[in-house]
């Protein structure tokens, strides 16, 4: 079976800061973290981290949302996640308010993948 590299870019707007996580899953998988335009650090991912990422990606589906009313004046974090490979490209955008108001739980796999990426960025 032919395998293709996967690239992911997670941009998180948190507390008025912009953090960008760029991952490549390939023969040599890496994670690079930037705040605004400054690269904070880059590191290789180990086999367990890659396995966890692939498992989290496999759970992601296109969200079908049902909203209840929420207060749009509450400050929230927002995210943009792009997952790409040779045969697909998906882009997702959501805010904390979306997670709180989603009755279907369809954003949960995206939230979990974003948390995993952020956690990997904090390890070193």
Q: What is the CATH number of domain 6-122?
A: 3.30.1560
pLDDT in the model for residue 65:
60
Query: Does residue 124 surpass a pLDDT of 60?
Result: no
Angle in degrees, CA 24, 29, 35, rounded to 5: 55
> Residue 23 corresponds to which tokens in the numbers above?
């991952």
Q: What would the pLDDT profile of 32-58 be if each residue is shown by its tens digit?
A: 888 766 777 888 999 999 999 989 988
pLDDT in the model for residue 1:
45
Q: What would the pLDDT profile of 66-120 be if each residue is shown by its tens digit?
A: 555 556 566 678 888 998 888 788 888 888 878 777 777 888 888 899 999 988 8
pLDDT in the model for residue 113:
92
In terms of pLDDT, which residue wins out, 19 or 62? 19
Domain ranges of the chain: 6-122
């Amino acid at each position: 079976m032919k395998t293709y590299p996967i690239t992911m870019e997670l941009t998180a707007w948190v507390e008025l800061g912009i953090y960008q996580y760029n991952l490549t899953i390939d023969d040599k998988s890496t994670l690079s973290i930037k705040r605004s335009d400054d690269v904070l650090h880059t590191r290789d991912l180990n086999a367990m981290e890659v396995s966890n990422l692939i498992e989290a990606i496999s759970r992601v589906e296109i969200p079908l949302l049902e909203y209840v009313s929420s207060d749009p004046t509450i400050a929230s974090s927002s995210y943009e996640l792009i997952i790409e490979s040779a045969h697909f490209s998906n882009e997702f955008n959501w805010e904390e308010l979306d997670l709180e108001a989603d009755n279907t739980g369809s954003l949960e796999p995206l939230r979990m993948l974003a948390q995993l990426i952020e956690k990997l960025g904090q390890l070193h």
